Amino acid sequence: MCALSHAEIVLEDSPLFSAIARVFRTPDLRRKIAFTLGIIAIYRLGAHVPTPFVDFPNVQQCLNQSGGTEGLLSLVNLFSGGALLQLSIFALGVMPYITATIIVQLLRVVIPHFETLYKEGQAGQAKLTQYTRYLTIALALLQSTTLVTVARSGQLFGSAGVPECQQLLTNDIWWAQLLMIITMTAGTGLVMWFAELVTERGVGNGMSILIFTSIAATFPGAMISILNARGVEVFLLVLAVSIVIVALVVFVEQSQRRIPVQYAKRMVGRRTYGGTNTYIPIKVNMAGVVPVIFASSLLYIPALIAQFNQPQAGQEPAPWVTWISQYLTRGDHPLYMLVYFLLIIGFAYFYVAITFNPVDVADNMKKYGGFIPGIRAGRPTAEYLDYVLTRITLPGSIYLGLIALLPLVALATVGANQNFPFGGASILIIVGVGLETVKQIDAQLQQRHYEGLLR
């Protein structure tokens, strides 16, 4: 009894446990966390409910025999938490919404009306969000049609010789396929609604939380496959290396270059404004996980073209089809890795140039009387910000490329699949969403005059 009481006192005195206890003692936070966990449970349940006219036993048997798929479908399957290859009602997951968000963001550079809406504040942002929803449904229709067509053709798992993979549908008549497309599209709309509910009533960004949940759901299966394939020693080694990788990713994701900014004092009536010192935080990884998604999508295009140009039985394939199949299909080939790495670096610079405009930042600083010490306001400030951004993006892009190569290295060394959890988009999203969610809980605790989770 004394030992138990002593243990309870130690746990109560621990900063971490006391902070967690404060979270659950706060009624509002407790309700938000419970609501978020409820939405997560419903989302994971829907990921295992098959779409009508899907032969679920054949799908499961084909999954066990093939071990998954590669290329862009592997990335989509990862973001759906394995629901894509199970042809469930949430098969498309959050991928249509992610794609629509990126497209709308890129269109701000091309369409002036989108940029005007972005600068209008809350009303303009609401309009852009509405456009994103419409585009999400349109992309869901397109992607669900493609998925049903691929499943009907028996090429979903890339194993045409397995009889079960040729008969994934119990009925392939046109109205049955139409019902499957409508069901998957409705599932995407429901997932989008879940995400918005979590954002409004739960904890953290709803779409990020659902992506986090989908990726975390694949962790046990990936680790068990390594344990079964390579034994306990390799499994423990991978686990130890993974802890180091997570620590390094957290370190880099939190790293930033702080550019000091001073605001001159100005008198408005009898009041004095300005005279404060602040900074512009420029993260080492400004682009986030988007370059990895772009590079994976672009690198899948040659393999997709080669797949649709396969010869008839008894004929020799074209030389370019053979070359693509040999070098740009398997992730464990050095040429594939090199092209993937270079594409990530290029897309990192491209995305940072679109999302961070030094000229706009310099103009806003000049408008409110701000300046960087030692740098003149206006064009010299924009040039200085562009110089710093270009320099800091180089290590950030190399870091992204190395992290993205980790699943491919694991594929070639320890027999893991391309959904290896401790690398690529997986680890970036898990760490990023985890940090942002903890920061939001910390901010809400501090608003209630508590000490936060973070020290």
pLDDT in tens, 118-159: 888 788 888 988 999 999 999 999 988 988 888 887 777 765
pLDDT tens readout for residues 274-321 = 567 888 888 888 888 888 888 877 887 777 777 667 666 667 777 877
Length of the chain equals: 455
Fold of 23-224: Preprotein translocase SecY subunit (1.10.3370)
Task: Supply the mean pLDDT for the chain.
Answer: 80
- Name the CATH superfamily housing domain 231-416: SecY subunit domain (1.10.3370.10)
pLDDT beyond 70 at 169: yes
Q: What is the pTM of this model?
A: 0.79
Q: Do domains 23-224 and 231-416 have the same CATH topology?
A: yes
DSSP assignment string, 191-244: HHHHHHHHHHHSSS-HHHHHHHHHHHHTHHHHHHHHHHHHHHHHHHHHHHHHHH
Q: Domain coordinates of the chain in residue numbers?
A: 23-224, 231-416
> What is the spatial distance between Cα 382 and Cα 378, in angstroms, rounded to a whole number?
7
Q: How far is CA 215 from CA 42, 74, 81, 211, in A?
A: 16, 12, 6, 6
pLDDT at 27 (0 to 100) = 81
Task: List pLDDT tens digits, range 249-282.
Answer: 889 888 888 888 888 776 666 666 656 788 888 8
For range 358-387, the mean pLDDT: 86
β-sheet bridge partners, residue 273: 266
